[in-house]
Amino acid sequence: MTRVGNNFGFADAEQIDRADRELTYIAAISEALREEMRRDPNVLVMGEDIAGEFGGAFKVTKGFTEEFGDRRVMNMPMAELGFVGMANGMALMGLRPVIEMQFADFISTAFDSIVQYAATNHYRWHAPIPWVIRAPADGGIRSGPFHSQNPEAWFVHTPGLKVVAPATPADAKGLLIAAIRDNNPVIYFESKPLYRALKGHVPPGDFVTPIGKANLARSGDDLSIITYGAQLHEALAAAERLAQEGVSAEVLDLRTLKPLDTEAILATARKTGKVLIVHSANRLLGVGAEVAALISDCAFEWLDAPIRRLGGLDIPVPFSPPLEDAYRPNAEKLYAAAAALAAF
């Protein structure tokens, strides 16, 4: 897997090397959507500016209107509450909508349609709501507080939803396909910093990453780093630096935030006895707090050090580059925290 720069801008999403099946993170998302729309005529996409030549703010659906028509590639007004409510109705009638939030930050506008209705509907009257919300999240790209948030903890806290957060091109494809086929409403958090900055092998064709299964991204013996999304790559960089100093760090990529892979989390905690949990979202009451509580409840006797957490500061995401760098975890901060934990 290779970095290909840090531009998350507006180039065509289909940056595909056909010879060795290397795709950018965003091209993998686009391919998953195309393949599922070709496979199942009930799958449709909807969102702001996604149809026609524009193809969405990040060009994920560029060319989709020409292939699938305007009944399956639907532009929506700036009214997230309304069009997620519309997707609820579509899903109840047998369709499988994939909703693009232009930025994950805007998902709060649709909170009632998601949390009050879609998440509770199967429990209330046994009617599934099989939609997916694609939520482009995360910062590090100097876009300020309205275009850089990580609101995953809201939805992990909500019964009835599933929540995924792929960190690699392969999982970007595999988890999106799994989410589209799932009969539950799924929030699919995309890491904007990875869109065109990361390339990797993606299996062709019908490739599914199972929801609820973490991935051991690096094996180690001295401490465990548990993370997801863009922070996986910061964790792997920190682990490589630690290895040069004789410290063996294991890195677990959660991939699915709800349901959590409790077996994988507990296995790595019991193996190394030292755990650092990292995410881009602000640390206070984030997903890492639940992971830490799980380990404390079920693996306390295996621990050789306090569980450590690293996350964003409890402030809105700053515009200023130096302030955003201070706000956000990175490989250097990860390395320092992990080195201190290893030495405990």
User: Are 156 and 258 contained in the same domain?
Assistant: no
Give yes or no for a contact between 287 and 279, defined as CB atoms under 8 angstroms apart: yes
Q: Is residue 31 part of a domain?
A: yes
Q: Is residue 4 part of a domain?
A: no
Q: Say which residue the tokens 């599922």 belong to.
A: 36
Q: How many CB atoms lie within 10 A of CB 11?
A: 15
User: Are 159 and 250 contained in the same domain?
Assistant: no
DSSP labels, 220-271: -SSEEEEE-TTHHHHHHHHHHHHHHTT--EEEEE--EEES--HHHHHHHHHH
User: Are 196 and 219 contained in the same domain?
Assistant: no
User: Are 170 and 62 contained in the same domain?
Assistant: yes
User: Are 153 and 75 contained in the same domain?
Assistant: yes
User: Are 117 and 250 contained in the same domain?
Assistant: no
Q: Is residue 1 part of a domain?
A: no
pLDDT at 12 over 50: no
Give the per-residue pLDDT at 20: 67
Q: How many CB atoms lie within 10 A of CB 151?
A: 18
User: Are 138 and 225 contained in the same domain?
Assistant: no
Query: What are the pLDDT digits (tens) for 86-97?
Result: 999 999 999 999
d(CA 25, CA 165): 12
User: Are 272 and 144 contained in the same domain?
Assistant: no
Q: Is residue 125 part of a domain?
A: yes
Give the per-residue pLDDT at 136: 97
Q: Is residue 6 part of a domain?
A: no
Q: Is residue 154 part of a domain?
A: yes
Region 222-250: mean pLDDT is 98
* 201, 223, 251 - which closes a domain: 201
Q: Which residues are catalytic?
A: 147
d(CA 255, CA 165): 5
Give yes or no for a contact between 138 and 117, defined as CB atoms under 8 angstroms apart: no
pTM: 0.93
* 147, 176, 201 - which closes a domain: 201
Quote the domain boundaries for residue 294: 215-342
d(CA 340, CA 332): 12
User: Are 166 and 25 contained in the same domain?
Assistant: yes
Q: Is residue 129 part of a domain?
A: yes
> Alpha-carbon torsion 55, 60, 65, 69, what sign?
negative
Token output for 100? 């693009």
Q: CATH number of the domain at 220, please.
A: 3.40.50.920
Please tell me whether residue 39 adopts helix, strand or coil conformation: helix
Give yes or no for a contact between 12 and 62, defined as CB atoms under 8 angstroms apart: yes
User: Are 239 and 282 contained in the same domain?
Assistant: yes
How many domains, the chain?
A: 2
Strands ordered across the beta sheet of 22-24: 2-3, 198-201, 22-24, 16-17
Instruction: Choose among 249, 257, 330, 255: nearest CA to 294.
Output: 257
pLDDT at 7 over 60: no
| pLDDT confidence band for 15 (50 / 70 / 90) | very low
Token output for 17? 């090397």
User: Are 128 and 43 contained in the same domain?
Assistant: yes
* 148, 168, 201 - which closes a domain: 201
Q: Is residue 291 part of a domain?
A: yes
| pLDDT confidence band for 17 (50 / 70 / 90) | very low
Q: CATH number of the domain at 132, please.
A: 3.40.50.970
Stated as kind and residue range, the H or E segment containing 177 is: helix 169-181
